[in-house]
Chain A
Amino acid sequence: MSSNVFLNIFRFLLLLFLQVLLLNNINLFGYLNPQLYILFIILFPIKGNQTLLLISSFLLGLSVDLFEDSGGVHALACLIAAYFRPYILRLLFGINYDFQSIKFSSVSYGTKIAYIAYMVVIHHLSLYFFEFFSFSHFFSVLEKTLFSGMFTVIICLLSISIFNNKK
């Protein structure tokens, strides 16, 4: 149990620094940056405390905001993603989720991709919507969500397969 806590604290810090020091400087095609730090929300233990998840995702987003000077958009986007995570899990894993018997490392590849994609879309959509903060930029929001989202999903899948648990 306590090793799980340390693992998550470590993941929090690692992803935060990776995000602000490295990934925010990629700027592929001039403006695309993968928001890898939401991997923290994605990989948070399924059986874990939902309240803790909400608060820690909020803090993670807030820290990214601090480094990016972006007000509170990352905090809000993370919060929304964390809040909707149980609903997505229920949607994808159905009845299994309520029994809490699934392990993330053992689910099929397709479900894994779907889960990550749902989370990334929710996060990015709210992130860019609140960043632009107007309906007149609707298509810019969609465009950024689409391209940045694909980038994030790919990087997320790669990092998961690299750091896969041995079991």
Chain B
Amino acid sequence: MQQILNFLIKYKNTLIFFLLAIFSLYLIVASHSYHKSRILSSANFLTGTVFGWQNDVESYFYLEEYNERLLDENKKLREVLVNLNDTIDYSSFIDSTNFKSTYRIRTAEVISNNYSSLNNYITINQGKNVGVKPDYGVITSEGIVGVVENVSANYASVISILNSRSKINAKLQKSNHFGSLVWNGNDPNIVQLIDVPRLAPISEGDTVTTGGKSFIFPEGIPIGTVTKFGLDQNQSYFSIDVRLFNDMTNIGYVYIIENIDKQEIQALINPEEDE
């Protein structure tokens, strides 16, 4: 007994080291498994509050730019609206309870944004309290940003498209050929579209949009343009470099997209996984 105690006392630092190392390895492995609610996430009260302070100060420096983006978006929407030949009667009362829509949109502000590591996350300042849940899509007026992963009462962490574990269904706008959008960790402005069949007609400058095969994003949200493409090792699929429309290094305000029919669709596809 005495010897065991002596041993423990002599090697206590090494023991503590290994204990803590095993614990942090566990955290790392847990964070690598996709779709498990992670133990450590920036969507918590503490980090949310601190990032909130930081954002309070920082957002003033970008006000002008964000205003211009808003104007730009309004201009685009106005153009669509004006050119719609259907007459929309603005004056008539639309009863929102009868108004059937598939997607519900919320707004949020990005309070923390990483893009320098391999697996990047974004923190936004809306959470459970306004109904944000995991697996909601996050976009800006210019393109997609990511998918909500963890939520707390007032904050949510978003798995950025600049994350090696992110995989989003996307398509070539011209020909409707589908592929998966991934990121190789190199350039925060360039993502990769893989698994596009080689018979797809493709040229530089083509637009890539979201596919609509997932229930997260609606179809046709712009992502970026093709800058480079080539066949992969098997010579059967294209892998394409896509330059994002979004500036992922300066996001600002985002829209959170909820697919209202998602549960219904999922219940249809996996009847046994009825929750």
Contacts and interface: CB of A to CB of B under 8 A. Distances in A.
Nearest to A61: B24
A27 B115 CA distance: 8
A80 interface: yes
Contact of B116 (A27, A50, A58, A79): A27
Nearest to B41: A69
Interface stretch (A28-36, A40-48, A104-112, A152-160): A28-36
A133 interface: yes
Contact of A31 (B25, B112, B116, B119): B116
Interface in B27-78: 27-28, 30-32, 38, 40-42, 44, 46-47, 50-51, 54
5 contacts: A21-B54, A30-B188, A67-B47, A83-B14, A131-B117
B141 interface: no
Given A31-B116, A33-B116, A69-B114, A51 B12 contact: yes
Contact of B21 (A31, A68, A76, A132): A76
Most chain A CB within 10 A, of B24, B38, B188, is at B24
B16 A69 contact: no
Nearest to A49: B13
Contacts of B119: 69-70, 131
B218 interface: no
Interface of A: 17, 20-21, 24, 27, 30-33, 50-51, 54-55, 58, 61-62, 65-73, 75-76, 79-80, 83, 130-133, 137, 140
B28 A83 contact: no
B30 to A, nearest CB: 7
B28 A76 contact: yes
Main secondary structure of the interface of A (DSSP, over half): helix
B24 A69 contact: no
B121 interface: yes
Contacts, number: 104
Contacts of A61: 24
A133 B42 CA distance: 21
A58 B24 contact: yes
B158 to A, nearest CB: 10
Given A50-B13, A54-B17, A69 B157 contact: yes
B244 to A, nearest CB: 14
A55 B40 CA distance: 18
Given A65-B40, A133-B28, A133-B32, A70 B117 contact: yes
A50 B15 CA distance: 12
Contacts of A27: 115-116, 249
A75 B114 contact: no
Contacts of B50: 17, 20-21, 67
Contact of B28 (A20, A30, A58, A71): A71
**A-B interface, 3 closest residue pairs, ranked by CB to CB distance from nearest:** A71-B31, A72-B27, A69-B121
Instruction: Select the residue from A31, A33, A130, A131 with max chain B CB neighbours within 10 A.
Output: A31
A32 B24 CA distance: 24
Contact of B38 (A24, A30, A71, A130): A71
A29 to B, nearest CB: 10
B20 A66 contact: no
A50 B14 CA distance: 10
B185 A80 contact: no
B54 A67 contact: no
A136 to B, nearest CB: 11
A72 B31 contact: yes
